[in-house]
Amino acid sequence: VSRLVPKKGIKEFVGGVFSKVYENRSDVVLLIAGDGPEKEKIKQAVVDQGLSQGVIFTGSVKRDSKMYDYLFGASDIFVMPNVRVKGDAEGFGMVVLEAALRGLPIIAFAVDGITDSVSNGNNGILVKEGDMVSFKEAIEGLLNNKDRAENLTRTAKKFVSENFSWDRII
């Protein structure tokens, strides 16, 4: 759920992480919700990696739509593979909090403002920037260990409500 721009790292994620996960688990599906200038490059990466059966592009989805809620409800993990792009930083990563409140464990690269919204072990897993192997292992670890995923789900909701409620922010 994002703008499809270079800093989101989706094209690199498709080739460097998802393709490897899909090799081992062809039952997984990557949902890409959003639109932007990188869309065609991401689609080409999907084709180049032979992942057409494993990736679904939804296009733009409005935050206040039922589809937005359905996407989170249909998901098991929320990934945020952002990369650093000169002149274009991730301010905070509000969508991470939205995913956590909907009960999704988060896996993200530790870049920019994402480190303010993802607390490693509380609402997700932070991976060293660019470490595709560890990102893949984090995904597979949650897919293969439902207890760990459920624990992160419980702590994610609690983490967000304790740290980002209006009372706390004020």
Q: What pLDDT was estimated at residue 127?
A: 97
At 131, the amino acid letter reads D
Cα–Cα nearest to 129, from 96, 86, 83: 83
- Give pTM, 2 decimals: 0.92
Per residue in 85-122, pLDDT tens? 888 776 778 888 899 888 899 999 999 888 888 989 88
Q: Is the dihedral of CA 113, 133, 32, 156 positive or negative?
A: negative
pLDDT > 70 in the chain, percent: 98
Query: What is the rounded CA–CA span in Å between residue 122 and residue 47?
Result: 35
